[in-house]
Chain A
Amino acid sequence: MARTLINVPKSAKPGEVVTIKTLISHPMETGFRPGADGRIKPRDILTEFVCAYDGEEVFRAEMFPATAANPYVSFTLKAERTGTLTFTWRGDNGFDQTETATLNVA
């Protein structure tokens, strides 16, 4: 499991636009870079990031070899009700990790 840092506001008012910040530990190996032995290191990157709010997709990002290591993704969404946010990263070598957080709306 890769280390993640997810920042969701502790609470929000109904209709409020909140900022979500995520960081994940990942080498984002481009597949173009020679290693110490001179051979090209195989590509190992994250390719997508999806956020769902109570199961409904609210944000999606694609990632490419030029994305820096330990990708940071920040986005906003409209807080409507207290619910569960799921964050999913997928990538090379079957990488698939989901983290959850609760958004409290009152």
Chain B
Amino acid sequence: MSVGWAQKVPALRRKTEFRLMMSGMALIINLASFRGCAAEPGIHRRRALLIWRRRRLWILGSPSAPRNEDAVSHPDHDRSTRPGKGAEVAFGAWLLVGIMTTASATEIPPAERRSGYDTMGAETQAMQRDDTTNPGMLWVQDGADLWEKVPSQAKLACAGCHGDATQAMRGVAARYPAFDERSGGPIDLETRINRCRTDNQSEAPYAQESRELLAVMAYVATQSRGLPITPVPDPRLGAARERGRALFTARMGQLGLTCAACHDDNHGHKLGAATIPQGHPNGYPLYRLEWQGLGSVQRRLRNCMTGMRAEPFAAGSSEALDLELYLMSRAAPLPIETPAVRP
């Protein structure tokens, strides 16, 4: 498991925590990775002070200048480092967070699961709802073309084998990651699509996070729009799912945070200007205003991990896959929203 130094050096972390407890506040966290403020330009570049007390976040903050040196040149931030854009937040808001208590990490019961859609602003919701304003539809349309496109090697198009995607791909995204006989473990939608590229079309796989891959994924996943997430009950996925759950509740990064501390224990509360969502992967690939483009759930996870000051799981790594598998079962039975829009 790839975790930050704080977990590798527990003594150091304990010492840090002690100091934090004494001062009642703690480490600095780059809020920008959790939160893009594209829709509300006034609130980016804001420094806020957060104190964690009885597992609540209290914001005592005030705006101040950004710390340019912290504009990590992480690929996920490249769009955010554009001056003159509402979406620039990579080195935006800073928080002082004191996270002292151990998270109780109780999973949200199915009946109380809420999509990130519910907590976002009315304008962003309207943008998602209307296919003529939802920029994710630009990718879906591209994907529809790629579905029909005959590859160069005189092989069949996706449609040549699968036929009409509205029939053939209906419900597929709602049950991925699925069990893969070949690897004996989980397989996500992008890997499955790329396997058809290589094995059935003799084409090079689409690059991770490329426009083509996101377009085809979005087109395939849109065929499940409105259908509830239904994880495969295959017992052979159990171990991977449990590994994902363990990652979700494991402290990681320099701040010693867990995913659960935010998404199980503090959803609905504020992190700077952002409302912490329950953190469900039901709209991916989705259009994030901060990205000004479509992105995968793995990219979203890298954003959260960068914010936690942990080393993000590499694209396509087994950790990222296990986590995604767990997140999907944790989100069931929320409906698929692809292509969703998020701030």
A-to-B contact residues, CB < 8 Å: 3, 5, 7, 21, 23, 25, 28, 30, 32-36, 65-66, 68-70, 72, 74
Contact = CB atoms under 8 A, between A and B. Distances in A.
25 contacts: A3-B141, A3-B142, A5-B137, A5-B141, A21-B133, A23-B132, A23-B135, A23-B137, A28-B292, A30-B84, A30-B85, A32-B84, A33-B78, A33-B82, A36-B73, A66-B85, A66-B86, A68-B38, A68-B85, A68-B86, A69-B79, A70-B292, A70-B293, A72-B135, A74-B133
Contacts of B83: 30, 32-33
Nearest to B135: A70
Nearest to A32: B83
Interface residues of B, number: 23
Contacts of B84: 30, 32, 65-66
Interface in B54-90: 73, 75, 78-79, 81-87
A68 B87 contact: yes
B57 to A, nearest CB: 29
User: Main SS of chain B's interface residues?
Assistant: loop
Contact of A5 (B86, B132, B289, B293): B132
Main secondary structure of the interface of A (DSSP, over half): loop
Contacts of A72: 133, 135
Given A21-B133, A66-B84, A70-B138, 9 more contacts: A5-B131, A23-B133, A23-B138, A25-B142, A32-B82, A32-B83, A66-B85, A69-B79, A74-B133
Nearest to A38: B73
Interface centre among B85, B86, B131, B292 (most CB of A within 10 A): B85
B225 to A, nearest CB: 17
